[in-house]
Amino acid sequence: MKIGFIVGSLRKGSVSKKIAETLKGLFPAGHDLELIEIGDLPIYNEDLDNGNLALPKAYTTFRNKMKTVDAIVFVTPEYNRSVPAALKNALDVGSRPYGSSVWGGKPALVVSQSPSNLSGFGANHHLRQTLVFLDVYPLQQPEVYLANSFGLFDENGKMNNEGTLKFLQSVVDAFLVHIKRFK
């Protein structure tokens, strides 16, 4: 089982990336877990797919990698009550050219986080709305909104909140059951 992790934040020291790494550590042995880079994808332009401009190698690399993934974990911060542009761009790149989407039929886990109490609620739901159109099936319960996320990690980048770790383990367990529905 290959599970791809897509992180919406491109920032060095990204809390979303730390959460993704924490989640990876909660999966049982035997799963192929890979963080998939989205920061090198040029902004989507249909002219790149219709031959009017040269297709970026990063598009082909990303699309081919996503075709090998059985399930997806999205971990994102909230920017202006939505997902970051880099994440939306990756969704667009993967959904084109029309009829060749790399997303369809795959189970997913959506995790949002924020340093505030709102915990990325807007980003979580905007992402889910896009995933509906892309024929991706996010885990419905438990939902994952991580509030006050900057305080969840120690100075070494390790999650230091036992309650959150226990919750995230239950999320991973539920996600593995969800994935089996698609196999």
Whole-angstrom distance, CA of residue 10 vs CA of residue 126: 19
Residue 169, CA distances (Å) to 23, 30, 74, 164, 165 in order: 8, 16, 16, 9, 6
Place of tokens 């959506």: 110
Looking at residue 95, its pLDDT comes to 97
Whole-angstrom distance, CA of residue 113 vs CA of residue 106: 23
Confidence of residue 151 (pLDDT cuts 50, 70, 90): very high
The β-bridge partners of 19 are none
Question: Mean of the per-residue pLDDT values for the chain?
Answer: 96
Whole-angstrom distance, CA of residue 134 vs CA of residue 102: 9
Domains of the chain, CATH where assigned: 2-180 (3.40.50.360)
What's the CA angle centered on 103, arms 142 and 93, to 5 degrees?
Answer: 120
Please list, in sequence order, all residues whose beta carbon lies within 8 angstroms of the beta carbon of residue 172, skipping any fewer than 6 positions away. 23, 26, 27
Place of tokens 């989507």: 44
Percent of the chain, pLDDT > 90?
93
Whole-angstrom distance, CA of residue 2 vs CA of residue 125: 25
Tens-digit pLDDT profile for residues 20-74: 999 999 999 999 999 999 999 999 999 998 888 889 999 999 999 999 999 999 9
Look at residue 107 and give its three-state secondary structure.
strand
Whole-angstrom distance, CA of residue 60 vs CA of residue 147: 35
